[in-house]
A and B are shown apart, each in its own frame.
Chain A
Amino acid sequence: MKSRFALAFALAHKDWRLFWADRRAAALCFVVPVLLAAAFGAIFHKPASAGGPKLPLLVVVEDGGAFARLAANDLLASPRCDAREVSRAEANELVANKRAVAVVLPVGFDKLKDWEPGAGGSRPEVVLLHHPSASAERQWAEGVVTDSVMRRTAREAFGAKESEVAPPFRVSAEAVSAHPGAFDSYTHSFCGMTLQYLLFWGMESGLLLLRERQRPVWLRARASAVPLGCVVCGKALATAAVAVLQVLVTFAVGYFAFGVKVHGSFAGFVLLACAACALAAATGLLVAALGGTEARARNVSILFILGACMLGGLWVPAFLLPDWARSVQDALPTAWAMRGLEAVTWQRGGFWSAVPGALAVGGFAAALLALAAVRLKLAERAARNGGST
């Protein structure tokens, strides 16, 4: 038993040495996830001091009347919009380039000043110009314009004061979450990119084993009667060791440069990190076991890993994903790992909030490892009997 452990350790040590033999490639293993995490964090980052988002709005005034002028001024002064007045031609061009939504106050808009509730007859038509892909902004603009114009109409048509046109209720927003913390884009992206690159490292490690199995060194290993279990353990150990280092480096940079913190249980974070490293090791062994040629294995692995990362909510927060994507998340280890990491970081969850994710990821890792071990055993048996390796 002791000699088997020593053998597995020797194989792991060899992989560790091979990893560091190409120092630039090894450095990139740590630099790339940090760069990507920083980029994703910056994209989704909303500074706390900037207040809510403002609607970019273009105002086109085609009616020369005083009421239309006042309505336009209201829109231009609205704190909910980042509005400016332009010509119709300018508005068309900017909207086509998806820079903003435009509201056109048409000729005859001034008639609204004489409007009475229940009055029939023709009504002026306010036109909203929007890019086909900006339907959310169109609806937002419709709400802003309706509110602003109705207030102005009430004041002009009925002589109401500013305080009288205010809605008879107040709206207050309250964020509801299972955890008390506030969303932090950098924490989310560092968790996501770390997980993604753990899987990519697992793939690279698996491809190394695949290459070794096709090289003469494997003949020497076979001639020395090394048990397959030692090969599997050694590879898993080496992959997991580098993966742990990757987690440490990525989160250390995140902590010092971007303020990424484990606000919740640190023990839960460690548990999840260990489970994720085991998943990386199992992924690598599966790649080595199932891969035919290196090019084929690499392409298929990238497809699966990117798919699992995208659907698992590693790139963008899960609440931004469509319903169908969220419905498949329970079948993905990446989603479980991400939920767990988010729970113990920005959601400030305790140790037990990490346990379901860690158990699920550990379960996936064990299943993949078992599948890889069985497949490698069958492949070795076939190779010994004159089949292909």
Chain B
Amino acid sequence: MPLPVALELADVSVRYGARAAVCGVSLGVRRGEIVALLGPNGSGKSSTLAVAAGVLDPAEGTVRAEGQLRTSDPVAFAARVGFVPQEPALYDELTAYDNLAFFGQLYGLCGADLRRRALRALSRVRLSDRAAHRVGTFSGGLKQRLNLAAALLHDPPILLLDEPTAALDPASRDAVFADLARFRDDGHAILLTTHHLDEAESGCDRVGVLDAGRLVALGPPAELLRARPTERAVLYGHLRTVPPKYLVRAIRERLGRGAELDVTGRRLRLAADTPEQLGVALAALLAEGIDFEAYRTPAGSMERALREGCEVARV
């Protein structure tokens, strides 16, 4: 029997001045479920999440957290939602514990209860031994885990994460998804945004594809893949260093029209029409001195699903 819907977005629209960023998105996230919002930059993922978190007011539509409307009681709504911004929302000057203590107070926690919850949140993200360390000394991965802990302090049933693995190395990314899987098993409803297909494919129960502010596809990754078999061969990689832009441009020109190369920081996505072409393209990259820390070629890919979904929306 499926668990109840914890987060419900109904016909939500967001506007920045005259520009519509989100148009009529309706979406429900159940307890014990991880849903990813997927789409290219500017597709409305972060705006949708900001509305769900109560950071933005929707121009139209409603958001309910466990049946609670934000407009009727903002504090009760906030108590049901834990929001994790894309960049760590922390004070570098304070210790990990002090950060959590402060954010806990924002949710009305105090005294022994606050202390217990802060220590528990640190334990849940495996940072107990770093409680007294200044956040400024943390790596990106540790900061992201503490960022997550800050959202767990008041024990909300709903977790909202805006690109939680951006700028993380593969090990930290896997750790974040391992944490999320545990929280899902604890009964949290989790909505996250990403523009990395492999994350959505492997770590989430359902995926919603956004394009130009519209939800163009929604379903389990496997279902989306079954309906649209893979045509292109894809490789996702994590590089040891950020390659210079001129080098990426030069490699792209050498690869020709059959292959695509996208590099975002240390993340790399390489796609080709056939596995053979992908191998040739990979060899070209290695010949240019591109140094991989890790890479994988997914068994199935949502590339086409995403592309087709977007094309349908544009029509």
User: Across the two chains, which residue of chain B brings its CB closest to A230?
Assistant: B106
Helix, strand, loop or mixed for chain A's interface?
helix
- B132 contacts partner chain A, Cβ-Cβ < 8 Å: no
- A219 contacts partner chain B, Cβ-Cβ < 8 Å: yes
CB distance from A213 to the nearest CB of B (A): 12
State whether A223 touches B81 (Cβ < 8 A).
yes
CB distance from A9 to the nearest CB of B (A): 9
Contact partner, A386, options B16, B91, B105, B107, Cβ 8 Å = B16
State whether B57 touches A21 (Cβ < 8 A).
no
Known contacts A10-B102, A219-B83, A225-B77; decide if A386 and B15 are in contact (CB<8 Å): yes
Q: Would you list which residues of chain A between 9 and 52 have a CB under 8 Å from chain B? A: 10, 13-14, 17-18, 21-22
CB distance from B91 to the nearest CB of A (A): 7
> CB-defined interface of A130-165 with B at 8 Å, one 1/0 digit per residue?
000000000000000000000000000000000000
- A97 contacts partner chain B, Cβ-Cβ < 8 Å: no
The interface residues of chain B lying within 8 Å CB-to-CB of A14 are 91, 94, 102
- A221 contacts partner chain B, Cβ-Cβ < 8 Å: yes
- A370 contacts partner chain B, Cβ-Cβ < 8 Å: no
State whether B55 touches A222 (Cβ < 8 A).
yes
Q: Point out which of A10, A217, A223 has the most chain B C-beta atoms below 10 A from its C-beta.
A: A223
State whether B57 touches A7 (Cβ < 8 A).
no
Q: Would you list which residues of chain B between 85 and 104 have a CB under 8 Å from chain A? A: 85-91, 93-94, 98, 102-103
The interface residues of chain B lying within 8 Å CB-to-CB of A215 are 87, 89
Q: Would you list which residues of chain B between 158 and 179 have a CB under 8 Å from chain A? A: none
The size bracket of the interface on A is 20 to 34
The interface residues of chain A lying within 8 Å CB-to-CB of B98 are 17
The interface residues of chain A lying within 8 Å CB-to-CB of B59 are 385-386
Known contacts A10-B102, A222-B54, A386-B56; decide if A18 and B93 are in contact (CB<8 Å): yes
State whether B85 touches A219 (Cβ < 8 A).
yes
User: Across the two chains, which residue of chain B brings its CB closest to A212?
Assistant: B91
State whether B86 touches A216 (Cβ < 8 A).
yes
- B14 contacts partner chain A, Cβ-Cβ < 8 Å: yes
Q: Point out which of A221, A222, A384, A387 has the most chain B C-beta atoms below 10 A from its C-beta.
A: A222
Contact partner, A22, options B81, B88, B90, B93, Cβ 8 Å = B93
State whether A217 touches B90 (Cβ < 8 A).
yes
- A226 contacts partner chain B, Cβ-Cβ < 8 Å: yes
Q: A222 vs B55: C-alpha distance in the bound complex, in angstroms?
A: 6
Q: Would you list which residues of chain B between 39 and 97 have a CB under 8 Å from chain A? A: 50, 53-57, 59, 74-75, 77-78, 81, 83, 85-91, 93-94
The interface residues of chain A lying within 8 Å CB-to-CB of B74 are 225
Give the A-B contact count at a CB cut-off of 8 A: 78
- A3 contacts partner chain B, Cβ-Cβ < 8 Å: yes
CB distance from A215 to the nearest CB of B (A): 7
Contact partner, B54, options A18, A225, A387, Cβ 8 Å = A225
User: Across the two chains, which residue of chain B brings its CB closest to A217?
Assistant: B89
- A224 contacts partner chain B, Cβ-Cβ < 8 Å: yes
State whether A226 touches B106 (Cβ < 8 A).
yes
Q: Would you list which residues of chain B between 1 and 47 have a CB under 8 Å from chain A? A: 14-17, 21
State whether B75 touches A21 (Cβ < 8 A).
no
Q: Would you list which residues of chain A between 370 and 389 have a CB under 8 Å from chain B? A: 384-387
Q: Point out which of A7, A217, A221 has the most chain B C-beta atoms below 10 A from its C-beta.
A: A217
User: Across the two chains, which residue of chain B brings its CB closest to A219?
Assistant: B85
The interface residues of chain A lying within 8 Å CB-to-CB of B75 are 225
State whether A216 touches B55 (Cβ < 8 A).
no
State whether A223 touches B93 (Cβ < 8 A).
no
Q: A223 vs B52: C-alpha distance in the bound complex, in angstroms?
A: 10
- B108 contacts partner chain A, Cβ-Cβ < 8 Å: yes
- A6 contacts partner chain B, Cβ-Cβ < 8 Å: yes
The interface residues of chain B lying within 8 Å CB-to-CB of A296 are none
- A170 contacts partner chain B, Cβ-Cβ < 8 Å: no
Q: A226 vs B14: C-alpha distance in the bound complex, in angstroms?
A: 22
The interface residues of chain A lying within 8 Å CB-to-CB of B107 are 224
The interface residues of chain B lying within 8 Å CB-to-CB of A22 are 93
Known contacts A222-B55, A386-B59; decide if A18 and B91 are in contact (CB<8 Å): yes
User: Across the two chains, which residue of chain B brings its CB closest to A19?
Assistant: B93
Q: A216 vs B164: C-alpha distance in the bound complex, in angstroms?
A: 13
The interface residues of chain A lying within 8 Å CB-to-CB of B94 are 14, 17-18, 21
The interface residues of chain B lying within 8 Å CB-to-CB of A221 are 106
State whether A386 touches B85 (Cβ < 8 A).
no
The interface residues of chain B lying within 8 Å CB-to-CB of A10 are 102, 105-106
- B110 contacts partner chain A, Cβ-Cβ < 8 Å: yes
- B118 contacts partner chain A, Cβ-Cβ < 8 Å: no
Q: Would you list which residues of chain B between 203 and 255 have a CB under 8 Å from chain A? A: none
Q: A17 vs B107: C-alpha distance in the bound complex, in angstroms?
A: 19
> CB-defined interface of B115-139 with A at 8 Å, one 1/0 digit per residue?
0000000000000000000000000
Known contacts A220-B150, A225-B54; decide if A21 and B93 are in contact (CB<8 Å): yes
Q: A229 vs B209: C-alpha distance in the bound complex, in angstroms?
A: 39
User: Across the two chains, which residue of chain A brings its CB closest to B77?
Assistant: A225
State whether A384 touches B56 (Cβ < 8 A).
yes
User: Across the two chains, which residue of chain B brings its CB closest to A21?
Assistant: B93
> CB-defined interface of A274-316 with B at 8 Å, one 1/0 digit per residue?
0000000000000000000000000000000000000000000
State whether A223 touches B53 (Cβ < 8 A).
yes
User: Across the two chains, which residue of chain A brings its CB closest to B76?
Assistant: A225
Q: A387 vs B15: C-alpha distance in the bound complex, in angstroms?
A: 9
Q: Contact residues of B with A, CB < 8 Å?
A: 14-17, 21, 50, 53-57, 59, 74-75, 77-78, 81, 83, 85-91, 93-94, 98, 102-103, 105-108, 110, 150
Q: Contact residues of A with B, CB < 8 Å?
A: 3, 6-7, 10, 13-14, 17-18, 21-22, 215-217, 219-226, 384-387
Smallest CB-CB A-B distances: 10 pairs:
A21-B93, A216-B89, A10-B105, A225-B78, A225-B74, A216-B85, A224-B106, A223-B83, A220-B89, A386-B16
* A-B CB contact pairs (8 Å), 6 listed: A219-B50, A220-B83, A223-B78, A223-B83, A384-B56, A384-B57
